[in-house]
Amino acid sequence: MEARNNKPVHTAPNQGERFLLVGSELITFKLRGEDYSVFENATQAGYGGPPPHRHLRQDEGFHVLEGEFTFHVEGEAIPVTEGAFVNVPKGSLHTFENTGTGVGRLLGIVAPAGDFESFVEEVAEQVSMDSPPTPPSEPPDADKIGRIVAAGERHHLEMPPPPAEHH
């Protein structure tokens, strides 16, 4: 699964490294390269996605394999369906939500490789490829969110606090 020495890499449908992130995102790395990495992200319907964040050193792209999503990139809401692609340039504040009625699946690409994969390894629970391909829907508690934000800083992911509400 790791790309080295310009050799072809083949990752079969039920292969890869699988992680349960924040209890609601199932991330399966299909390729971990030196220049870029490829992963599949599965989320339950109604899942609000990761907290708004920006990758300070990586561009990120998403191809919708299944379902309906709304991406929020720098304040713009972008509704997407199966077959669509969304590019998120490094430094762009973004998140997404599964707005469909079933499990949604995205194919993600990050370049250059390194920071995102290390972040996932640190904050997510590695699970077996035999585990169900659909994640549960459990919101993270405040302690877990604090650990995620701190890990993000170590891996060049910035998660700004939500804007204060004005009364």
Q: What is the 3-state secondary structure (H, E, C) of 18-37?
A: EEEECCCEEEEEEEECCCCE
- Residue 145: the pLDDT is 76
Asked if residue 2 has pLDDT above 80, the reply is no
- Residue 166: the pLDDT is 53
pLDDT in tens, 102-144: 989 999 999 999 999 999 999 888 888 776 655 555 666 677 7
Asked if residue 162 has pLDDT above 90, the reply is no
Query: What domains can be seen in the chain, in order of their start residue?
Result: 17-158 (2.60.120.10)
Partners of 69 in beta bridges: 80, 98
Answer with the residue of higher pLDDT: 165 or 74: 74
Most confident of 6-15, 51-60, 155-164: 51-60
Distance CA 97, CA 34 (A): 29
Asked if residue 23 has pLDDT above 80, the reply is no
Residue partners of 131: CB distance under 8 A and separation at least 6 = 18, 20
What the block records as the tokens of 26 is 């199932």
Residue partners of 155: CB distance under 8 A and separation at least 6 = 115, 116, 118, 119, 122
CB 149 within 8 A of CB 160: no
Answer with the residue of higher pLDDT: 60 or 14: 60
Closest-CA residue to 140 (of 47, 17, 28, 27): 47
Helices 142-154 & 115-123, crossing angle to 10 degrees?
Answer: 150
Query: What percent of the chain lies above the pLDDT cut of 70?
Result: 86
Answer with the residue of higher pLDDT: 54 or 44: 54
- Residue 138: the pLDDT is 61
